[in-house]
Structures are given as C-alpha cells and as structure tokens.
Structure 1
Amino acid sequence: MNDQSEQERWNARYADDSYLFGTSPNAFLASQRHLLASGQRALAVADGEGRNGVWLAEQRLHVTAVDFSPAALAKARRLAESRGVEVSFVQADLATWEWKESSFDVVAAIFIQFADPPLREAIFQGIRRTLAPGGLLLLQGYRPEQIQYGTGGPPHAENMYTAAMLREAFRGFEMVSLVEHDSVIQEGAGHHGVSALVDLVARKRA
C-alpha cells in the first residue's frame, strides 16, 4: 500500500466529527502524572486526534504531537484550542521522520500498533535516539492475546507487544515498571472492552 492510499485510509477513519478514541487521555498515561514535571519537552507519537498530547500540554509540558493523518491533526488542533493549550502539531510519516537526538524529556507511545515489525523497530530506534539522557518513555500497547478480544487494535498478532519484547527493545534503559495485564478500557468507540495490555515505564540512563 502506498503512502497516499494509507493516508486516505486514516483520514477516512477520522472523518467523523466525533473523536474515535475519545478526548480523555489514555488511563495508563494519566496514571503516570506523578512522573511528569512542568516545562519538560514531550513527544506524543502517532497522537491521532490529540487526546494524549493535549493532556500532556495541560500538565504544562512543551508538547510536540506527530501524526500521519491531516484529518486527525485538524481535530487535534480543535481539541487543543478548546482546552486552551498550545501543542506543536507535526504531520509526518514516522518511517521517514527525523528523530532528533536527545530532543525530548518524555515520549508517550500509546497504542502505536499500526506499525508492522520493520516499522516498529524503526520507531523504537527513533525513540531511543530522541529521548534525552534521563528521559522517560511511557508506552502502552496490546499483547497478541488482544486478537481474541477484538476490542481494539489491528488484527495482526505480529504488530503486538510482549513484556519480553519490550525489555529487549529498550535494553539498557531502567525498567521502572513493566506489567502485562488484562483490563477493561473505555476510549471512545475505537478501544472499548476487556483488552490484553502491556504497560512500560522506562527511563533512559543518564
């Protein structure tokens, strides 16, 4: 599938006026509020309609939110305006986006499982590069068991995560917390119901 048709697919997903994944932040991300500090530079990866990037900005972080879909970003801008916060929104393909070295204190990577294994490795490499020493990674994703639940995410087991995979992918980071669990999530129509999850809080060593 070429980039144009892929972008059209995502734009179609976000064409409705409603917010596919809601406007509240991801619950795991919000639960890590105590680890955030005003003035930190934060990157929200594949932030879609903006719910997580806008929430980070509400915590007084300086936020860059990147997404592939212009339709999603238009809704994200409206959400930021309605909340009275500023976010730097960037339309980019994460396969070719420049992950500038040591540019962010926090990276939020929430359900970025559109990425197949080669793209996932490129994104993870980018995250490792762009986090500043001492920087924090907050990541939540689906485990392969999610396919059986069918409550969100793509129907591709190879796109899912396990704790062992994430531990290896971010080897050398301090594993603050790495937990696999099945929990009910309610994030708009896109993520709704019992879900097979894995949560990672990791810090890049200084």
Structure 2
Amino acid sequence: MSDAAAWDARYAEGAFAFGEAPNRYLESLLPRLRPGMRALALADGEGRNGVWLARQGLSVTAVDWSTTGIAKARALAVRHGVAPDLVTADLTRWETPAAAFDLVAWIFLHLPPADRAVVAATARRALAPGGLLVLECFSPAQKGRRSGGPRDPALLWTADLVREHFAGLEILECLQGTVLLDEGPKHQGHAEVVRALLRKAP
C-alpha cells in the first residue's frame, strides 16, 4: 500500500481525522491575514486549514496526495460556501508557481529527510516577497505520547531543521515545547511541537 493509499484509508473512516476547525497556531495568525491574500496549504488532508483560510477571504490553493482527503475537503468547502483550489498531487513532484503566495501553511507535514528538503525548497520558492511561512510539526520529544505524530524519528522536526531548511527567510519566531492539541480524534492531548513563523524579504 502506498502512503497515499494509507491516507485514503484513514480519511475514509468517516469522521474528520483532525477535526474541521483549523490548526490553532495557524488560527492565531488571523490579525496578520487580509482578504485577497494568496495562501498555499501544504498536505491539507481533509481541508480544515485551507477552508478556514478561504473563509477569511483569502485566495487559497490546498494540496494533498489523498483523493479521499481532497473529496472531503471539497464537501467541507461547499458546506462553508467557499471555493478553494483543491489539488491532488505529490508535493515532491508538484510544480509550484514561483513567488505566487503571500502565505504558506506547513501544518503537521512530516516527510523523509530527502523529500522534506525538496518540499521546503518548493515552499521557499512559492513565497512572494514579504510572504509568511507558518509551520507546526511534532518534535522528537513527542516519542511515547499518544497525541499524534509519526513513529519514525527521521520525520520529526526541530528548531535547527527549521533554520536549515528555511535559511534565507527571516525568523519571526521559532518555538519548541509542549502544547495541548484538540484537533479531531487523531490529535488529542499534550504534544511536543515546533512552531515557527518566517518571512521572505520584501
């Protein structure tokens, strides 16, 4: 079973795996968002973040490799009366427009190191001058917790990895520590994460 097929199976279980509400860290950026901004939601699964961004008046492209996830995202968007551009694609192969987005959301996207480097380069290239990149991912301290995240430690993030992969972007904040997740059945309880907000030079 391919990884995309595994996510199809997970998203086919019925309930939204990570809830319908946006990621809390992304939601905290609301004061920085303006209608008409162009946003890219990477690995957006069932659409909770992309649909929320569209509801704030942003022009949204949301990408995921799960056809089941994208179908649920489309239904969620219809329910909320918004129409983000929903793309089914492998992010390591997706041709991202250069300098096309004012915001890139990298929320709980965990990839093997080589793929992570490819997609991080894609995200940097996709940012328009002055654009923001927001990231929340699990850190190695998450090991043993049941609140979510990959079991393979190579997929986890650290503050140092943020600095390495997004070198050249201005770090507005980069935090590593414990948060309380309440994001659907798959993300519940205390979790160890990295949160980062970065900006491309104007």
- Pick the TM interval, shorter chain: over 0.9
1:100 aligns with 2:73: no
Q: Report percent identity of matched pairs.
A: 44
1:61 aligns with 2:62: no
Please report the RMSD computed on the Cα atoms of aligned residues, expressed in angstroms. 1.0
Q: Structure 1, unaligned stretches of length 5 or more?
A: none
In 2, Cα distance between equivalents of 1:172 and 1:49: 31
* Matched-pair contact (CA < 8 Å) for 1:147–1:156: no
1:197 corresponds, among 171, 193, 202, to 193
Q: Which amino acid aligns with 2:146?
A: G
* Matched-pair contact (CA < 8 Å) for 1:177–1:201: yes
1:16-49 C-alpha deviation (Å, 9 max, x unpaired):
2210000000000001111111101100000000
2:137 corresponds, among 123, 132, 141, to 141
1:24 aligns with 2:21: yes
Structure 1 consecutive aligned stretches of length 4 or more whose deviation exceeds 3 Å: none
* Residue of structure 2 equivalent to 1:73: 70
SS of equivalent to 1:78: helix
- Normalised by the length of structure 2, the TM-score is 0.97
SS of equivalent to 1:145: helix
1:88 aligns with 2:77: no
* Residue of structure 2 equivalent to 1:110: 107
* Residue of structure 2 equivalent to 1:165: 161
SS of equivalent to 1:164: helix
- Normalised by the length of structure 1, the TM-score is 0.95
